[in-house]
Amino acid sequence: VNIAIIGAGFAGLATAWHLLTNSSIKITIFDAKGIGGGASGIAAGLLHPYAGVHSKLNQLGRVGMEAALDLIKVASQALQQPVISNQGILRLALTQEQKIDFAECAQKNADVQWLNSHECQTLFPALTKEPGIWIKEGCAINSALYLQGLWQACQNKGAGLEKITVSSLQQLDNFDVIIVAAGAHALVFPELASYSFSTIKGQILELKWPQELPPLPFVLNSHAYLVMQSPTRCLVGATFERKYQTEAPDLQTAQEEIMPKAIALIPGLQSAKIMGCQAGVRLVTPSRSPLVERIGKKHWVITGLGSKGLLYHAYYAKQLADQVLKES
Ligand SMILES: Cc1cc2nc3c(=O)[nH]c(=O)nc-3n(C[C@H](O)[C@H](O)[C@H](O)COP(=O)(O)OP(=O)(O)OC[C@H]3O[C@@H](n4cnc5c(N)ncnc54)[C@H](O)[C@@H]3O)c2cc1C
């Protein structure tokens, strides 16, 4: 069965990998920008089942996490190097509402530990004096590296890549099955015009870590998040912009929105130098659950991963691949 996948982000590559478990499948991936050219390539890589301001266990959070970790292993093996960059996530509770929500999260979930402000500062003395929760199993991956590894694993099973823009699904009519995994740009296809989605631009800053601070040894996440990329570089995110003029990075908006939140977590970041800014667009469905379904005789879609693409991509890609294999 000859299958075309439009999009080489989390959704497209994970779907390709799961389909390739069947040896009669031939996959060609089409991506205008190459591997990880969309939101996936710039994602901060946070992975834990308690995403969101209230830190509630996400729907499918545990199975999503398990499925994602399986694919992370596949990517690491293909590259012969780890793609997890940081293990452990500390979520600081800055507001009264967060303190209540986070304490409840720790009470309900055995893998989450409540830490008082002193215990948090023992983990990293430069933190503001607030309590929080420690999510031991939470981690951050290097997203670009993960995508390279997953692509390498797909390539090892015979997948091909064409770096072109697909302007209509009819262009791929010679394929038996066509899967749209085009992220926020799935909206350009008329076959998806009847669905209602919203788009949210996200920007992320790269900071030069101040010399006077030791490197942060875990992921820090509250109203903003911080993920060390190396002992001297840190990603800080992210913006949630419902109204925006351009998909391109806009440093001023990103700086104004992100830096005060980061400084509220670590006051010593006041002196941090901004080295870069990247932007992507998240596609969100009204239910906030991904859209994974058949949209035509041989057309399928997987999109709407919102801000939890890493948590949900592997699980939903497996569901889609199983369905495609069953019905093709
Ligand atoms: C700043 C930011 C930080 C984020 N951080 C996290 C995080 O820490 N953890 C997390 O779980 N999620 C995070 N997310 C969300 C996550 O990035 C998305 O949910 C996820 O990347 C969506 O994956 P996707 O494969 O659906 O889309 P994309 O990654 O956007 O992939 C779509 C691909 O399709 C290609 N494409 C589109 N149209 C066409 C066409 N017509 N022809 C050819 N190719 C086409 C694009 O070039 C692109 O490569 C973040 C998002 C942003 C913006």
**pLDDT tens digit string along 85-107?**
999 999 999 999 999 999 999 99
- What percent of the chain shows pLDDT beyond 90? 97
* Shortest-distance Cα residue to atom 5 of ligand 1: 43
Q: What separation in Å is there between the alpha carbon of 268 and the centre of ligand 1?
A: 32
**At 328, is the pLDDT very low, low, confident or very high (cuts 50, 70, 90)?**
confident
> Which ligand 1 atom sits closest to the C-alpha of 12?
25
Q: Residue 31: name the closest of 165, 136, 128, 153 by CA.
A: 165
> Which ligand 1 atom sits closest to the C-alpha of 308?
11
Whether 154 shows a pLDDT value over 90: the answer reads yes
Q: What separation in Å is there between the alpha carbon of 277 and the centre of ligand 1?
A: 16
* Shortest-distance Cα residue to atom 46 of ligand 1: 38
**At 52, is the pLDDT very low, low, confident or very high (cuts 50, 70, 90)?**
confident
* Shortest-distance Cα residue to atom 37 of ligand 1: 182
**pLDDT tens digit string along 202-213?**
999 999 999 999
Among 28, 228, 305, 313, name the best residue to mutate to test ligand 1's pocket (greatest count of ligand atoms within 8 A of Cβ): 305
Distance CA(12)–CA(31), nearest Å, equals 10
**pLDDT tens digit string along 281-316?**
999 999 999 999 999 999 999 999 999 999 999 999
- What percent of the chain shows pLDDT beyond 70? 100
| Contact by Cβ (8 Å): 316, 292 | yes
Among 17, 35, 40, 188, name the best residue to mutate to test ligand 1's pocket (greatest count of ligand atoms within 8 A of Cβ): 40
**pLDDT tens digit string along 105-120?**
999 999 999 999 999 9
* Shortest-distance Cα residue to atom 6 of ligand 1: 43
* Shortest-distance Cα residue to atom 16 of ligand 1: 309
CB-defined site of ligand 1, < 6 Å: 6-12, 30-33, 37-40, 42-46, 165-166, 181-185, 202-204, 237-238, 280, 282, 303, 305-311
Single pTM value for the model:
0.97
Among 244, 307, 315, name the best residue to mutate to test ligand 1's pocket (greatest count of ligand atoms within 8 A of Cβ): 307
Among 226, 234, 246, 282, name the best residue to mutate to test ligand 1's pocket (greatest count of ligand atoms within 8 A of Cβ): 282
Question: Quick one: tokens of 228?
Answer: 């060390």
Strands 132-141 and 46-47, how do they pair? antiparallel
Burial 3-19 (b: 16+ CB within 10 A, else e): bbbbbbbbbbbbbbbbb
**pLDDT tens digit string along 246-275?**
999 999 999 999 999 999 999 999 999 999
Q: What separation in Å is there between the alpha carbon of 168 and the centre of ligand 1?
A: 20
For 67-79, what is the mean pLDDT? 98
